[in-house]
Amino acid sequence: MSAVSNIYPTAALQALDAAHHIHPFSDTKALNEEGSRIITHADGIWLTDSNGNRILDGMAGLWCVQVGHGREEIAEAVNKQMSELSYYNTFFKTSHPPAIALSEKLAELAPSHMNRVFYCSSGSEANDTVFRMVRHYWDQMGKPDKKVIIGRWNGYHGSTVAGTSLGGMKGMHEQGDLPVPGVRHIDQPYWYGEGEDMSPEEFGVHVARKLEEAIDQIGEDKVAAFIAEPIQGAGGVIIPPETYWPEMKRILDERDILFVADEVICGFGRLGKWFGSEFYGLEPDLMPIAKGLTSGYLPMGGVLVSDRVCEGLIDKGGDFNHGYTYSGHPVCAAAALANLEIMQREKLVERVADDIGPYLQNRWRALGDHPLVGEARMEGLMGALELVPKKGERKTKFADGGSAGTLCRDLSFQNGMVMRAVGDSMIISPPLVLSHDEADQLIAIASKTLDDTYAELKKDGKL
């Protein structure tokens, strides 16, 4: 591809892309008319496009490039592993050193009650694994009626059939007649958008109790598990009120159901702890992981499995009839090990907790003073800005929901930074290696982008 990008000008690349490439989560017809942006290189937190523009990667790719782009150390580890053992499977009584070493490393980093990992290639596959694993667990424990999995509206757990079903994205459910049977959804802890007249504290408890209500309604003897992201990422960086997780924990402790914390975004330092569950003091039974595991250098996911689940899954014996050709892929495992080695050596997780996290959070929250911003929130290194037409009026939204966000996203790109829009919320989740100087640049671009968006919206009579 780099050869192609050196030879072809941007327009030719865009034409080829339009002719042959179907993009994820895209209106391909509209995209083909507009032409995709072509990213050719990346280094640290900076992307370079095919026109030579440098762009600050405010999203760490897709919430995954913890150690920054272009780390030679990972490339070398991958290269070495490619020459030694480029592929072998982990079925049929075989294993290999990279999968073994990575499993040991993950058991070291995970909470002490989690000592085993099942591998796959993505977050979606991790949640497909969860779907099958929790039902298999209850079968093994002699409670085969426990089948229902409870998720949350606007949660995101991937794009496969099980991932989409567990997630609560209505636009995704509409395509393909999902969710599959046996999945229920409860409300999300989105105070800014759905808290009505309650205080955040009241709302946190109120919405947590929806889990209790759902379990009682379905019958505890039929509920297998509850799945949630510690902080919803793709749903719009929904940081729950402080009362939410403690109340959820009370309910989960009282009920005989499994708790699945989807750590695909919150894991690997994003919240200043190795896992988001630790940040909130949660003790999950299963943790799907992906993204930051390899910093996105190669595709890899997994499910961290608690000792409790291993009782049913392993100690009771019998096959778990589930697995992927690339479960524990040696080259991906080598990339993960090199990535985790960098994260530990450079103390990136600690840095998010004590240094760059608080530094960026203070500046990001100050963007809340902007006339276009209703709320500026950030935890660890993931944040959101709620764009609103009338500051101070939480319930007043833009009439054509989403177009202010799309405009702001496009202007951000023009100003040299990737910010993602979720409806009219702007999202960032930069690499954990972000320096103070780069954080200042991020805030300066975000601030200018808000000014530009405000001016455009005013011009169009939308404010």
The footprint of ligand PMP (CB under 6 A) covers 62, 122-124, 127, 156-158, 229, 233-234, 262, 264-265, 290
The distance of closest approach from Cβ of residue 25 to ligand PMP in the complex, given in angstroms and rounded to an integer, is 10
Query: Rounded to an integer, what distance in angstroms lies between the CA atom of residue 232 and that of residue 268?
Result: 15
Residue with smaller CB distance to ligand PMP, 193 or 292 = 292
E strand segments, 90-190: 114-120, 148-152, 183-186
Query: Rounded to an integer, what distance in angstroms lies between the CA atom of residue 71 and that of residue 58?
Result: 18
Residue with smaller CB distance to ligand PMP, 381 or 463 = 381
The distance of closest approach from Cβ of residue 235 to ligand PMP in the complex, given in angstroms and rounded to an integer, is 9
Which of 267, 295, 290 minimizes the C-alpha distance to 75?
295
The distance of closest approach from Cβ of residue 266 to ligand PMP in the complex, given in angstroms and rounded to an integer, is 8
Residue with smaller CB distance to ligand PMP, 165 or 449 = 165
The distance of closest approach from Cβ of residue 394 to ligand PMP in the complex, given in angstroms and rounded to an integer, is 26
Query: Rounded to an integer, what distance in angstroms lies between the CA atom of residue 321 and that of residue 303?
Result: 16
The distance of closest approach from Cβ of residue 234 to ligand PMP in the complex, given in angstroms and rounded to an integer, is 5
Residue with smaller CB distance to ligand PMP, 127 or 449 = 127
Residue with smaller CB distance to ligand PMP, 77 or 264 = 264
Which of 202, 203, 169, 204 minimizes the C-alpha distance to 183?
169
Residue with smaller CB distance to ligand PMP, 127 or 154 = 127
How crowded is residue 199: how many other Cβ atoms within 10 Å of its Cβ?
11
CB 371 within 8 A of CB 393: no
Whose tokens are 């595709």? That residue is 299
Residue with smaller CB distance to ligand PMP, 38 or 162 = 162
Instruction: Provide the β-strand partners of residue 284.
Output: none
The distance of closest approach from Cβ of residue 354 to ligand PMP in the complex, given in angstroms and rounded to an integer, is 25
Residue with smaller CB distance to ligand PMP, 129 or 415 = 129
The distance of closest approach from Cβ of residue 1 to ligand PMP in the complex, given in angstroms and rounded to an integer, is 21
Q: DSSP class of residue 220?
A: G
The distance of closest approach from Cβ of residue 329 to ligand PMP in the complex, given in angstroms and rounded to an integer, is 14
Amino acid at 63: W
Q: Kindly report each contact of residues 290-293 with a partner whose C-beta sits within 8 Å and lies 24 or more positions away, as own/partner.
A: 290/64, 290/122, 290/123, 290/126, 290/264, 291/62, 291/63, 291/64, 291/123, 291/264, 291/265, 291/267, 292/63, 292/64, 292/66, 292/267, 292/268, 292/339, 293/267, 293/268, 293/336, 293/339, 293/340
Q: Give the residue nearest to ligand PMP (CB).
A: 123
